[in-house]
């Protein structure tokens, strides 16, 4: 039943049927047929294929939600193979350095390294501030060299005279300006 | 006209009867649902049984670990223990530590509440197999830094 299940799983995973090991305690890594091997191994070199990974391709990627990528990170060098032999024994005999070496052989970054802050925000903030400064300089340049001088009606004195003229002409007597002006007391209505 | 009305009323009556039947038996297959929903207990048992298989291999253990990490839950200690024992059978120490890190990450913002309890539950297995927690290995803080690929 389980062998049928993983045949289905393999079909879904686009990896063809693996050779089933005949030994009862099966500690083999994934066994691939020659065609796949020719396709994959030039790209991954001497690395061991260990699983399905994220999408079935023999790639390595560090993702928090997928703890186990499809291949080991480092190529299988003689030192690492020696460590793997040691790994088959009691793990209490492994020193801390051995354990760390084994971890780094299979994985690139630890979870805390994946989630560590990158300081990228400083770069982004700097770019934004640069953009503000640049546009400020551009605005100054435009005002000094590009725009014509401002219209003569745009100063305070002219506008005060305009307002006085509007009141003299009784413009907006119902709902507008003059309706807010008290002509007897010569001040704005309270 | 009356026959039509009668037919309509009987069909309505039948529909009502079936709806009531559906409410009564929640476990049996209801017309509008996909199938029987798995209880938490069954879910846990399924994963424990999978990890406890004596002939599990690298492909299967990693698939199971990826799948259970993809679920929206923190795995029960007995699932974690079964996974660690499966790592032992496959002689893969680094995978055990990796999975412990994954469980810690699954705790999310409630790590300070959930992880101590999980650790307490799995401590006997950890000491028995000689697996260090990520903290003991020094992996709770970043050890190495990776250069940004965009700045290489």
Compare CB distances from B69 to A24, A66, A91 and report the shortest one's residue.
A66
pTM of the predicted model over 0.90: no
Query: What chain B residue is nearest to A56 in terms of C-alpha separation?
Result: B63
Which has more confidence, B117 or A8? B117
Q: Provide CB contacts within 8 A for B59, sequence distance 6+.
A: A6, A18, A29, A30, A50, A51, A52
pLDDT greater than 50 at residue B74: yes
pLDDT greater than 90 at residue B21: no
Residues A66 and A5 in one domain: yes
Per-residue pLDDT of chain A (190 residues; tens, 9 = 90+): 555 555 555 555 454 444 443 433 444 566 777 777 777 778 888 888 899 988 888 899 999 999 999 999 999 899 999 999 999 999 999 999 999 999 999 999 999 999 999 888 999 999 999 999 999 999 999 999 999 998 988 899 999 999 999 999 999 999 999 999 999 998 998 8
Which chain B positions have a beta carbon within 8 Å of A50's beta carbon? 58-59, 62
Number of domains chain A is built from? 4
Which chain A positions have a beta carbon within 8 Å of B130's beta carbon? 90-94
Angstrom distance (rounded) from CA A123 to CA B118: 39
> Average model confidence (pLDDT) for chain A?
84
Angstrom distance (rounded) from CA B125 to CA B132: 11
Tell me: the pLDDT tens digits for A37-52? Answer: 777 778 888 888 899 9
Closest Cα to residue A26, out of B48, B95, B86? Answer: B86
Q: Where does a domain end: A60, A95, A116?
A: A116
Residues A2 and A21 in one domain: yes
Q: What is the domain range of residue A129?
A: 120-147
CATH annotation of B40-129: 1.25.40.40
Residues A55 and A11 in one domain: yes
Residues A61 and A102 in one domain: no
How many Cβ atoms are within 10 Å of A108's Cβ, its own excluded? 15
> What's phi and psi for A32, nearest 5 deg?
-110, 155
Tell me: the pLDDT tens digits for A55-68? Answer: 888 899 999 999 99
- Counted across chains A and B, CB pairs separated by less than 8 A come out at 133
Compare CB distances from A113 to B105, B143, B148 and report the shortest one's residue.
B143
pLDDT greater than 90 at residue B14: no
ipTM rounded to 2 decimals: 0.74
Q: Do B133 and A111 meet the contact criterion of CB atoms below 8 Å apart? A: no
Give the model's pLDDT for residue A17: 43
């Amino acid at each position: 039943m389980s062998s049928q299940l993983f045949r289905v799983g393999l079909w879904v995973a686009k990896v063809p049927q693996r050779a089933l090991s005949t030994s009862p305690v099966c500690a083999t890594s994934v066994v691939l047929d020659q065609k796949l091997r020719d396709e994959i191994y030039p790209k991954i070199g001497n690395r061991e294929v260990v699983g399905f990974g994220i999408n079935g391709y023999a790639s390595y990627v560090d993702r928090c939600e997928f703890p186990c990528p499809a291949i080991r990170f480092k190529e299988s060098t003689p030192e690492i193979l020696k460590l793997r032999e040691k790994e088959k024994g009691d793990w209490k005999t492994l020193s801390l350095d051995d354990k760390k070496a084994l971890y780094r052989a299979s994985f690139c970054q630890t979870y805390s390294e994946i989630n560590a802050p990158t300081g990228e925000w400083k770069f982004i903030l700097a770019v934004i501030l640069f953009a503000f400064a640049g546009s400020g300089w551009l605005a100054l340049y435009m005002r000094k060299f590009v725009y014509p001088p401002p219209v003569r009606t745009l100063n305070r004195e002219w506008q005060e005279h305009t307002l006085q003229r509007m009141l003299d002409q009784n413009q907006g007597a119902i709902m507008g300006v003059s309706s807010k002006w008290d002509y007897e007391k010569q001040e704005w209505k309270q | 006209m009356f026959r039509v009305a009668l037919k309509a009323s009987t069909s309505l009556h039948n529909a009502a009867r079936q709806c009531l039947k559906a409410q009564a038996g929640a476990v049996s297959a209801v017309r509008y649902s996909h199938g029987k929903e798995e209880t938490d207990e069954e879910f846990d048992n399924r994963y424990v049984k999978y990890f406890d298989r004596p002939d599990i291999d690298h492909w299967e253990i990693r698939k199971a670990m990826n799948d259970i990490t993809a679920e929206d839950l923190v795995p029960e200690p007995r699932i974690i223990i079964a996974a660690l024992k499966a790592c032992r059978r496959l002689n893969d120490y680094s995978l055990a530590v990796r999975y412990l890190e994954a469980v810690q990450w699954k705790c999310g913002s409630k790590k300070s509440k959930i992880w101590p309890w999980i650790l307490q539950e799995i401590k006997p297995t950890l000491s028995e197999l000689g697996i260090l927690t990520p903290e003991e290995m020094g992996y709770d803080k970043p050890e190495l830094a990776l250069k940004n690929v965009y700045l290489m």
